[in-house]
Amino acid sequence: MKSKKGLFNPDSIQEIRNETKRWEKEVYPREKERLEVFETLSGIPIEAIYTPEDTAKMDYLRDLGFPGEEPFIRGVHPTMYRGRTWTQRQLAGYGPPEETNKRYKFLLKQGANGINGVFDYPTLRGYDSTDPEAYADAGRGGVAIDTIEDMRILLDGIPIDQVSSSMVTCQPIGNISVQSMYFANAEAHSIPFNKLTGTSQNDFLMETVVAIAPEVLPPKASFKLSCDAIEYCTKYVPRWNPVSFAGYNYREAGCTAIQEVAFVIANAIACSEELIRRGLDVDRFASRLSFFFSGHNDFFEEIAKYRAARRTWYRVMRERFGAKDPRSLALRFHVQTAGVALTAQQPLNNIARAAYHALSAVLGGAQSVHIDAYDEALCTPTELSSLTALRTQQVLQLETRVTHTIDPLGGSYFVESLTNQLEEKIVALLNEIEGMGGIVRAVEKGWIHKAISSEAYEYQKAIESGEMPIVGVNCYRIEDEKLPIELFQVPETLEIQRAKLERIKKERSSTNVQKASDAILRCCEKDGNLMEVVVEGVKAYVTEGEVTKVLKRYYGIWNPPLF
Amino acid sequence: MEKRIVKKGIRVLLARLGLDAHWRGSIVVAHALRDAGMEVIYIGNQMPKEIVETAIQEDVDIIGLSSLSGNHMILAPEVVKRLREKGTQEIPVVLGGTVPPDDIPILKEAGISGIFGPGSSLKEIIQFISALGKK
């Protein structure tokens, strides 16, 4: 532990305190305040002014330090954006894989540095496109994947040994098949697993809380699948990030910034404990746990949130798990600008909103960013809206020079004070979850569901009352507005997927399919690592829906507390 | 499927269409309707067949559907069609979610009583449902 020294000389602090009191009493009241309450979006009071006194208790070397060093709050890499700027990772996915493949190639050609695949609702939830529950959602919200052939089509012509791929697989039940198809497809193309770089989402809260739907896998089973994928990648695909704790989606569902960080860290703690129980050393997997946050409206709170998340994670990894590898101690994260903050009204205003959201992510030290397209409150992005979002990233990266120094808001009395307060509240919430028996138990009890839904309701009430202004919605509305944009139409998907599935089911060896399905069931029975058998299964053209059926037959289904 | 009935008053069945993963809108509306004194039966993601069967079993006054996935043009009219087949077309159907403006006349033509797109206020939704429920 480095020595503990305050940031300022105690005599100066006393003098500043006296002067602040004088100013507050004599000068400030000369003018009237515009609002009754000034607070952050998560409800932390905001003072009129912050002074050295607010950061006086900090020890620079212990609490801030330098980029690439403990406690990593000023940045996870030594040079940050002076060395390499963040990855521009624009989401894309819709319709059948044939169509999404074209959009990937378009975005890469326009300068995106990685692909970011989003999957349709049936794929996320483990259904084939032709399932009776799924037909109306095939190709919606993402690309449809049913078999390894779809994965081959999706990635056709994309050098996955050079370009990193993010796979927004969301739920462990969908992830286990989709991820297996990705790896099996790489193997079929003779790409060694140690050349594969990328991230999959694979977050059990996505299955049991955020996508809240009846008849999902029970929390323990979903959590097991998530850990199986992490264990598999740790052993065989060492440069892959096998989980991205989806704080973004918790936030979209209603969380505050504090809950967003506390829930992802509680989730990461549970996964770490399970992997250690399975015999892995913390430093073997911790550097590959990755985080996904939302870039929301409260500019400074978001910046402080990213910084607080880094310091909290550092302390958890260091103190609780005794991690030693600096890469285990550094929290790396992707940011997507908040979809929930977009408006369907006057949609071009969303370009400005998302640019501010992205700026906060960059000032907070994000490793990769997706900027939402202006039409996302209405439809899947068009080519024009996706390109505008990518160009917004490029303007931020190339024109503004915010990349030229590291952690430019470090040392701001306000931002440091807010970072400290957020960290304190995040730690308190982590302790509360710990007291309940951890995150899996908190999900089983429905506690997380209630916490998120009541925040979502409060947020909406604040918009209704006008307390939270939303331009174009509760102020500056244009009545009978005519939409100034073209809307995207999802291309035909179901029939294309149906034709492929019918052909594949005729052509594949039913003996091999039966053997693979039996192997999955046997693996469930002996509590083995399911990813190892699913990877083999998808090579035999077992469909995603068939994998799901075996898993649900063994683990049963769970109905989360809906309301 | 879990059901929870809260308070007495207009009975509203709320469901999310198909496999749509967006939860926030429907749950916020559920809270608001309950606070406005209605009974809310929230059944989460369901297909039209289950929605109609539950509506009849629970003898609800109104069905509220939520969809942000874009499946509304297929599934919302199917709910109305199935209600008609069962001879229970008097139960009005209301839809909320990301409904592009061009879809609204088509959905109304198909028998959807009210459509609430993004940015709709809870106040309008409550007023609309109260008026429908009292008929």
Whether residues A376 and A293 share a domain: the answer is: yes
Q: Which residues of chain B are within 8 Å of residue A211 when distances are taken between CB atoms?
A: 21, 23
Q: Measured between CB atoms, does A141 come within 8 Å of chain B? A: yes
CA angle A309, A310, A313 (to 5 degrees): 80
Whether residues A249 and A138 share a domain: the answer is: no
pLDDT at A562: 77
Of B31, B32, B45, the CB nearest to A213: B45
CA distance B92 to chain A (A): 22
* Inter-residue long-range contacts of A3-7, CB under 8 Å, 24+ positions, other chains counted: A3/A59, A3/A61, A4/A59, A4/A62, A5/A59, A5/A60, A5/A61, A6/A56, A6/A57, A6/A58, A6/A59, A7/A52, A7/A55, A7/A56, A7/A58, A7/A59, A7/A60
Strand A333-337 relative to strand A368-370, pairing: parallel
Q: Which residues of chain A are within 8 Å of residue B5 when distances are taken between CB atoms?
A: none
Q: Measured between CB atoms, does A210 come within 8 Å of chain B? A: yes
Question: Does B44 contact A214 at a Cβ distance shorter than 8 Å?
Answer: yes
Q: Give the structural domain span for A351.
A: 245-476
Which CATH number characterizes residue A250's domain? Answer: 3.20.20.240
Whether residues A119 and A213 share a domain: the answer is: yes
Longest dimension (CA), chain B: 37
Q: Does B2 score more than 50 pLDDT?
A: no
CA angle A458, A463, A466 (to 5 degrees): 125
Instruction: Specify which residues B94 forms β-bridges with.
Output: B64, B114
Q: Which residues of A416-431 are buried (b: 16+ CB within 10 A; e: fewer)?
A: bbbbbbbbebbbebbe
- With CA atoms as reference, the chain B residue closest to A126 would be B19
Q: Measured between CB atoms, does B24 come within 8 Å of chain A? A: yes
Q: Measured between CB atoms, does B42 come within 8 Å of chain A? A: yes
Give the residue from A431, A446, A476 where a domain finishes.
A476
Whether residues A322 and A467 share a domain: the answer is: yes
Tokens of A496: 């294309």
Question: Does B42 contact A562 at a Cβ distance shorter than 8 Å?
Answer: yes
Beta sheet of B114-116, edge-to-edge order: B39-46, B11-17, B62-67, B93-97, B114-116
Q: Measured between CB atoms, does B45 come within 8 Å of chain A? A: yes
pLDDT at A4: 57
Whether residues A531 and A439 share a domain: the answer is: no
Give the residue from A446, A476, A506 where a domain finishes.
A476
Whether residues A494 and A391 share a domain: the answer is: no
For residue A288, count other CB atoms closer than 10 A to its CB: 20
- Count the domains in chain A: 2
pLDDT at B8: 59
**Site of tokens 């007495």:** B8
Whether residues A463 and A366 share a domain: the answer is: yes
- With CA atoms as reference, the chain B residue closest to A208 would be B21
pLDDT values of chain A reduced to their tens digit, one per residue, 563 residues: 444 577 888 899 999 999 999 999 999 999 999 999 999 999 999 999 999 999 999 999 999 999 999 999 999 999 999 999 999 888 889 999 999 999 999 889 988 778 889 999 999 999 999 999 999 999 999 999 999 999 999 999 999 999 899 999 999 999 999 999 999 999 999 999 999 999 999 999 999 998 778 889 999 999 999 999 999 999 999 999 999 999 999 999 999 999 999 999 999 999 999 999 999 999 999 999 999 999 999 999 999 999 999 999 999 999 999 999 999 999 999 999 999 999 999 999 999 999 999 999 999 999 999 999 999 998 888 989 999 999 999 999 999 999 999 999 999 999 999 999 999 999 999 999 999 999 999 999 999 999 999 999 999 999 999 999 999 999 999 998 888 888 888 899 999 999 999 999 999 999 999 999 999 999 999 999 999 999 999 999 999 999 999 999 999 999 988 77
- With CA atoms as reference, the chain A residue closest to B119 would be A473
Whole-model pTM: value is 0.94
**How many interface pairs between A and B have CB atoms less than 8 angstroms apart?**
121
CA distance B33 to chain A (A): 11
Give the residue from A440, A456, A476 where a domain finishes.
A476
CA distance A557 to A173: 12
Of A124, A141, A464, the CB nearest to B122: A464
pLDDT at A404: 98
Q: Which residues of A295-312 are buried (b: 16+ CB within 10 A; e: fewer)?
A: bbbbbbbbbbbbbbbbbb
pLDDT at A2: 47
DSSP string across A86-129: PEE--EE--BSHHHHHHHHHHHHHTT--EEEEEB-HHHHTT--T
Q: Which residues of chain A are within 8 Å of residue B27 when distances are taken between CB atoms?
A: 212, 254, 453, 456-457, 563
Whether residues A427 and A521 share a domain: the answer is: no
- With CA atoms as reference, the chain A residue closest to B4 would be A563
- DSSP class of residue A317? I
- With CA atoms as reference, the chain A residue closest to B124 would be A464
Whether residues A367 and A285 share a domain: the answer is: yes
Q: Which residues of chain B are within 8 Å of residue A253 when distances are taken between CB atoms?
A: 23-24
Residue A69 lies in a domain: no
Residue A335, classed as helix, strand or coil, is strand
Q: Measured between CB atoms, does A61 come within 8 Å of chain B? A: no
DSSP string across A450-485: HHHHHHHHHHHHHHHTTSS--BTTTBS--TTPPP-S
Determine contact, residues A459/A254, Cβ cutoff 8 Å: yes
CA distances from A188 to A154, A193, A232, A313 (A): 14, 11, 18, 38
Question: Does A562 contact B4 at a Cβ distance shorter than 8 Å?
Answer: yes
Residue A72 lies in a domain: no
Mean pLDDT of B28-46: 95
Residue A219 lies in a domain: yes
Whether residues A236 and A251 share a domain: the answer is: no
Question: Does B70 contact A122 at a Cβ distance shorter than 8 Å?
Answer: no
Residue A539 lies in a domain: yes
Nearest to A370 by CA among A66, A116, A105: A116
Whether residues A278 and A420 share a domain: the answer is: yes
Q: Measured between CB atoms, does B118 come within 8 Å of chain A? A: yes
Tokens of A381: 């992005």
Whether residues A261 and A216 share a domain: the answer is: no
Q: Measured between CB atoms, does B17 come within 8 Å of chain A? A: yes
Contacts of A321 by beta carbon, 8 Å cutoff, 6+ apart: A272, A276, A282, A286, A328
Q: Measured between CB atoms, does B20 come within 8 Å of chain A? A: yes
CATH of domain B11-134: 3.40.50.280
Q: Which residues of chain A are within 8 Å of residue B24 when distances are taken between CB atoms?
A: 252-254, 340, 456
pLDDT at B6: 45
Residue A57 lies in a domain: no
Q: What are the backbone angles phi and psi of residue A335, rounded to the nearest 5°? A: -120, 135
CA distance B97 to B117: 5
Question: Does B40 contact A563 at a Cβ distance shorter than 8 Å?
Answer: yes
Q: Supply the ipTM of this predicted assembly.
A: 0.91
